[in-house]
């Protein structure tokens, strides 16, 4: 098997495309972000602890986010953000843990400041049946004024991973779950091969979106950030 190239992402501030490994460093020196943080410092918002979080799917590490979370915000806000951008299908239960299944549950009413320390990794579980597992690593923190009135800021996000059509190898835009479950294929289909595709026993094929929950439970996007 050829090794997949390293995942790349986009800096929300300046739009530059970089490797996942390079993004955290870039965020520390991004000139556009520096301008925005300086503007925030001139505002009358309170000085807070601001936490840099690297969020990624526990198993498919091509899906990742860099978030900045305000210290007084509760984990409920982070849970809501993860649901909005990646996870929400049918309003399933979720929880934050240290250690995943069987680990220690961290209550959602806790504030970021009372939970986070640099290096900590929380595992978020969404849906206790077909579970999406997401790791939240605390990269570091800074003292300053938030760049946003929201509880979180999206600093960077992965580019949607490339997918190849199971029939022809062209870029895929659709996912057929009947191919996955009944035929042990990837289920990935291009715009051409979705036409006349014979399967519908698991619902119509759904459009690929930039979320690690694609193909799980009833998830079909849209995978847009709420802010």
Applying CB under 5 A, the residues found at the interface with Zn ion are 11, 13-14, 30, 89-90, 165, 167-168, 170, 176, 178-179, 190, 193, 199, 217-218
The angle at the Cα of 212, spanning 166 to 210, to the nearest 5 degrees, equals: 80
Backbone phi, psi, residue 112, to 5°: -50, -45
Tokens at 119, concatenated: 């290096």
Q: Rounded to whole angstroms, how far apart are CA atoms 158 and 8? A: 6
Cβ distance to Zn ion smaller for residue 179 or 214: 179
Q: How far is the CB of 30 from Zn ion (least distance, A)?
A: 3
Q: How far is the CB of 109 from Zn ion (least distance, A)?
A: 24
Distances (CA, A) of 22 to 4, 7, 174: 17, 10, 30
Q: How far is the CB of 58 from Zn ion (least distance, A)?
A: 18
Cβ distance to Zn ion smaller for residue 20 or 115: 20
Cβ distance to Zn ion smaller for residue 14 or 58: 14
Q: How far is the CB of 87 from Zn ion (least distance, A)?
A: 9
- How many helices and strands (H and E) does the chain possess? 6, 12
Cβ distance to Zn ion smaller for residue 73 or 85: 85
Q: Which residue has the tokens 């979106």?
A: 209
């Amino acid at each position: 098997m050829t090794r997949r190239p390293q995942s790349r992402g986009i800096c929300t501030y300046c739009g530059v495309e970089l490797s996942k490994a390079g993004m955290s460093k870039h965020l520390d020196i991004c000139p556009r972000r520096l301008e925005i943080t300086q503007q925030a410092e001139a505002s009358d918002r309170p000085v807070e602890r601001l936490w840099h979080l690297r969020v990624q799917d526990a198993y498919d590490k091509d899906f990742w986010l860099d978030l900045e979370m305000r210290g007084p915000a509760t984990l409920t806000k982070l849970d809501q953000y993860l649901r909005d951008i990646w996870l929400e299908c049918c309003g399933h239960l979720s929880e934050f843990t240290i250690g995943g299944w069987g680990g220690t549950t961290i209550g959602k009413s806790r504030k970021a400041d009372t939970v986070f320390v640099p290096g900590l990794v929380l595992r978020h579980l969404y849906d206790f049946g077909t579970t999406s597992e997401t790791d939240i690593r605390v990269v570091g923190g800074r003292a300053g004024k938030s760049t946003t009135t929201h509880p979180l800021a999206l600093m960077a996000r992965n580019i949607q991973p490339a997918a190849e059509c199971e029939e022809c190898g062209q870029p895929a835009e659709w996912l057929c779950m009947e191919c996955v479950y009944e035929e042990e294929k990837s289920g990935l289909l291009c715009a051409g091969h979705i036409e006349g595709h014979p399967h519908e026993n698991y619902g119509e094929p759904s459009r690929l979106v930039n979320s690690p929950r694609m193909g799980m439970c009833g998830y079909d996007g849209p995978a847009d950030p709420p802010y």
